[in-house]
Amino acid sequence: MARTSPISQLEKIRAARIKLEKEEKRLMSRTHDKALAQIVQIAHNAGLTAADIATALGGKGKKAATKSTGSKTTKAKRATAGKKVAPKYRDPANPANAWTGRGRMPQWVQALHAAGTLASAEIKPAE
């Protein structure tokens, strides 16, 4: 009875893994394509533009819109530049996470915003 060597077994396993990874990528691509097609159709039906979606996601569209307003104030000229700001929101799931409401939205803020529950994370000022 002939035994296969460990090296030959490893080569077979590697080849099978590569084949499975390719199949996974193909299936994920099909799934992503379908999801994107649905998203595009929903956006089109609602009259949304790519910039609207990027703004809602806190992406580049928001920055481009801010730049196009014609504001000539630079960071060095702003009175608030470089100053510490108290956090405005705290993550209900992990109180160690906080956000000032400035700059890029953390993922937990994006999730709350998308769910429409961002107000529940606001930090109430102490009276």
Question: What is residue 61's predicted lDDT score, i.e. its pLDDT?
Answer: 46
Q: Is the dihedral of CA 41, 42, 46, 49 positive or negative?
A: negative
Element (H, E) at 98: strand 98-99
> Is residue 2's pLDDT more than 80?
no
Interval 3-29 mean pLDDT:
92
> Is residue 48's pLDDT more than 90?
no
What are the backbone angles phi and psi of residue 50, rounded to the nearest 5°?
A: -60, -35
> Is residue 51's pLDDT more than 50?
yes
Percent of the chain predicted with pLDDT > 70: 82
Percent of the chain predicted with pLDDT > 90: 31
Question: What is residue 75's predicted lDDT score, i.e. its pLDDT?
Answer: 54
106 — pLDDT class (breaks 50, 70, 90): very high
Element (H, E) at 55: helix 50-57
Instruction: Quickly tell me which residue has 């002939």 as its tokens.
Output: 2
> Is residue 50's pLDDT more than 70?
yes
CA–CA dist 42, 47 (Å, integer): 9
Tokens of 53: 């979606």
Q: How does the average pLDDT of the chain come out, rounded?
A: 82
CA–CA dist 20, 64 (Å, integer): 41
> Is residue 63's pLDDT more than 80?
no
Looking at residue 5, its amino acid is S
Interval 97-111 mean pLDDT:
91
CA–CA dist 100, 9 (Å, integer): 55
